[in-house]
Chain A
Amino acid sequence: MNVLELINIRKSFGSELVLSDVSLTVPEHTATVLIGASGSGKSTLLRCINLLDSIDDGQIILDGEEISDPLIDVDQVRRKLGMVFQAFNLFPHKTVLENITLAPIKVHGLNPDVATMQAIELLDRFGLSEKADQYPDRLSGGQQQRVAIIRSLAVKPRLLLLDEVTSALDPVLVNEVLAVVRDLKQDGITMVLATHEMGFATQVADEVCFLEHGEIVERGTAGQVLQDPQMIQTKEFLRRVHEAGRL
């Protein structure tokens, strides 16, 4: 069953076309990885799926329901989606625990004790239980991002969107975050993620899409796209990534 289907998505900011005819199918329990240079449209695509940005044309279908319908209740849609941002975006005035339990309590009407228990379970699982009562600014970047991932998991999303979750981190902190994402993939959580970590993409991706100038230029398994690219743009991009020592 397909969790998400994108059909010919088009999006522009003013006169600049940022997504052009993007189509994508995300079956349940799979991970779709978006790669491409900064400004290629990866983040915008994720924000459109989340309805944080509106699309100019095309269709977004989540669990068989068209969510690009203007009459849709966006709050209802977002309850089914989790999103993790490049800059973590934790709430600085709330403790780690409060960050995680806010949505389960206020949006899903969970009993606060139950929500707290579930949050502590998740923190335990990812080795962060000691940090439950800390404020985000007392945590390292890697810890903050893990908390942000837990926060988005706490609402049990149908689909998890991860937007370059390691791009703001020290190289030594990248791995602890990627390990969490690998775990989630093992759990069978359906996700779409944008990343610059090609090695990581190889490990988790069921499908890799290479975007350039808002278009999916090439797609396939990680082996196909990253090891044996067919398109000249993909080859060029991977060459530059390689030069930068990121492959």
Chain B
Amino acid sequence: MTKTNSPIHNQVSRAVSWAPSPREQDRARIRKLILRRRILVSVLSSAVVLGLLVLLLVTSPGWKVVTTTFFDVQYGLEVLHLVARGLVTNIELTIIASIAIGILSLLLALARTSRSAALTPLRFLATAYVDIFRGIPLILVILLIGFGIPALRLQGVTSNVFVLGTTAIVLTYSAYVAEVIRSGILSVHPSQRAAARSLGLTHNQTMRYVVLPQAIRRVVPPILNDFISLLKDTGLVSILGVIDAVRAGQIESSRTFNYTPYVVSAILFLLITIPLTRYTDYVLMKSINKQNAQGAA
């Protein structure tokens, strides 16, 4: 668009010279009043609700005891490095597990969406796998793997609790994530597949170059959600004796009968999960905006 484009130039100068009519000025004043009242109401209601909650907490009969057994700042600082060291284990476990989950879940999703006759047994197995591991509470899988595998006394199979705990988490989460990826694959419109196939791409090429790239993009926000859950759920391996943040807090608090280490552990988890959650929201909003823009086009 050039400056010499006179109709547009005209429109711009008309827009600049515009002054609101008295009626519009009135409406603007009223809108401002409404806005001010809305802000006032939201501030007041927040203050009342939060105030009541604090009051309830502080006036509860056990509050004095709770402040010393849960919120002992001095003690909290003392155990901080122990719990933080435990949290490093959680983070390591999360990173190792996410890589394994990424691979396993993608294979499961591909197996479940394949149509090839030769892969029928694989499709059947993948479906059974997903049914089983989505249906058992994670803590049971951890217990069964953590105590069951060593009990088999197989030659060369580890009894390292870190490895066993990670394995249990990978098995369960792969089933969840596989379903998310599968829903992404199914959400790619059939016309995309038709276009790819009509260009001569084989089923596998269509999957690889056309369907999967679009599917993965769509499932990034829900998978980030699962990733956050994963980080929190790594705390469950503490039942096998892995010294993670939860276990470190437990060891400390059972020594002193003070629960502040648990609170420290919770705060450390929050310091990681809250930014991740905000980031997930941001990614989600971005993808929704993009879809809306596409819908409007």
- Tell me, yes or no, whether B202 is within 8 Å of chain A by CB: yes
- Tell me, yes or no, whether B205 is within 8 Å of chain A by CB: yes
Residue of A nearest to B214 (CB): A93
With contacts A85-B194, A92-B214, A93-B213 known, is A155 near B294, CB below 8 A?
A: no
- Which one of A47, A90, A91 has the greatest number of beta carbons of chain B within 10 Å? A91
With contacts A85-B194, A87-B191 known, is A152 near B199, CB below 8 A?
A: yes
A92 touching B199 by the CB < 8 A rule?
Answer: no
Contact partner of B210 (CB less than 8 A), chosen from A78, A79, A91, is A91
Residue of B nearest to A88 (CB): B195
A103 touching B201 by the CB < 8 A rule?
Answer: yes
- Tell me, yes or no, whether A44 is within 8 Å of chain B by CB: no
Chain A 89-111 against B: per-residue CB contact (8 Å), 1 yes, 0 no?
A: 11111000000001100111000
A107 touching B293 by the CB < 8 A rule?
Answer: no
Contact partner of B205 (CB less than 8 A), chosen from A83, A91, A106, is A106
In the complex, A92 Cα to B205 Cα: how many Å? 16
Give, as a whole number of angstroms, the nearest-CB distance from B156 to chain A: 42
- Tell me, yes or no, whether A137 is within 8 Å of chain B by CB: yes
- Tell me, yes or no, whether B198 is within 8 Å of chain A by CB: yes
Interface size of A by CB at 8 A reads 25
A52 touching B194 by the CB < 8 A rule?
Answer: yes
Chain B 202-238 against A: per-residue CB contact (8 Å), 1 yes, 0 no?
A: 1001000110011001000000000000000000000
In the complex, A93 Cα to B199 Cα: how many Å? 17
In the complex, A79 Cα to B198 Cα: how many Å? 8
Band of interface residues on B: 20 to 34
Contacts of A85 in B (CB 8 A): 191, 194-195
- Tell me, yes or no, whether B200 is within 8 Å of chain A by CB: yes
Residue of B nearest to A91 (CB): B210
Contact partner of B198 (CB less than 8 A), chosen from A83, A87, A91, is A83
Residue of A nearest to B189 (CB): A89
Q: List B residues 264-289 near A (Cβ within 8 Å).
A: none
Residue of A nearest to B201 (CB): A107
Give, as a whole number of angstroms, the nearest-CB distance from A161 to chain B: 8
- Tell me, yes or no, whether B39 is within 8 Å of chain A by CB: no
Chain B 184-202 against A: per-residue CB contact (8 Å), 1 yes, 0 no?
A: 0000000110111111111
Contact partner of B294 (CB less than 8 A), chosen from A79, A92, A102, is A92
- Tell me, yes or no, whether A81 is within 8 Å of chain B by CB: yes
In the complex, A83 Cα to B194 Cα: how many Å? 9
With contacts A93-B213, A137-B293, A137-B294 known, is A107 near B200, CB below 8 A?
A: yes
In the complex, A79 Cα to B200 Cα: how many Å? 5
Contacts of A107 in B (CB 8 A): 199-201, 205
With contacts A89-B192, A93-B213, A137-B297 known, is A106 near B201, CB below 8 A?
A: yes
- Tell me, yes or no, whether A50 is within 8 Å of chain B by CB: yes
B199 touching A89 by the CB < 8 A rule?
Answer: no
A151 touching B199 by the CB < 8 A rule?
Answer: yes
Contacts of B197 in A (CB 8 A): 52, 78
Q: List B residues 73-118 near A (Cβ within 8 Å).
A: none
In the complex, A108 Cα to B199 Cα: how many Å? 10
B198 touching A81 by the CB < 8 A rule?
Answer: yes
B198 touching A78 by the CB < 8 A rule?
Answer: yes
Contacts of B209 in A (CB 8 A): 102, 106
In the complex, A47 Cα to B205 Cα: how many Å? 20
With contacts A85-B194, A91-B210 known, is A155 near B297, CB below 8 A?
A: no
Contacts of A243 in B (CB 8 A): none
In the complex, A103 Cα to B196 Cα: how many Å? 8
19 pairs across A/B with beta carbons < 8 Å?
A50-B198, A52-B198, A75-B202, A78-B198, A78-B199, A78-B200, A79-B200, A81-B198, A82-B199, A85-B194, A91-B195, A93-B213, A102-B199, A106-B201, A106-B209, A107-B199, A107-B200, A137-B294, A152-B199
Instruction: Tell me the A residues contacting B by CB distance below 8 Å.
Output: 47, 50, 52, 75, 78-79, 81-83, 85, 87, 89-93, 102-103, 106-108, 137, 151-152, 155
Ranked nearest first, the 7 interchain pairs of A and B with the lowest CB-CB distance are: A89-B195, A103-B199, A83-B198, A79-B200, A107-B200, A78-B200, A89-B191
Known: A52-B198, A90-B195, A106-B201. 20 other contacts (CB 8 A): A52-B194, A78-B199, A81-B198, A83-B195, A85-B195, A89-B192, A91-B196, A92-B294, A93-B217, A102-B209, A103-B199, A103-B201, A106-B205, A106-B209, A107-B199, A107-B201, A108-B200, A137-B297, A152-B198, A152-B199
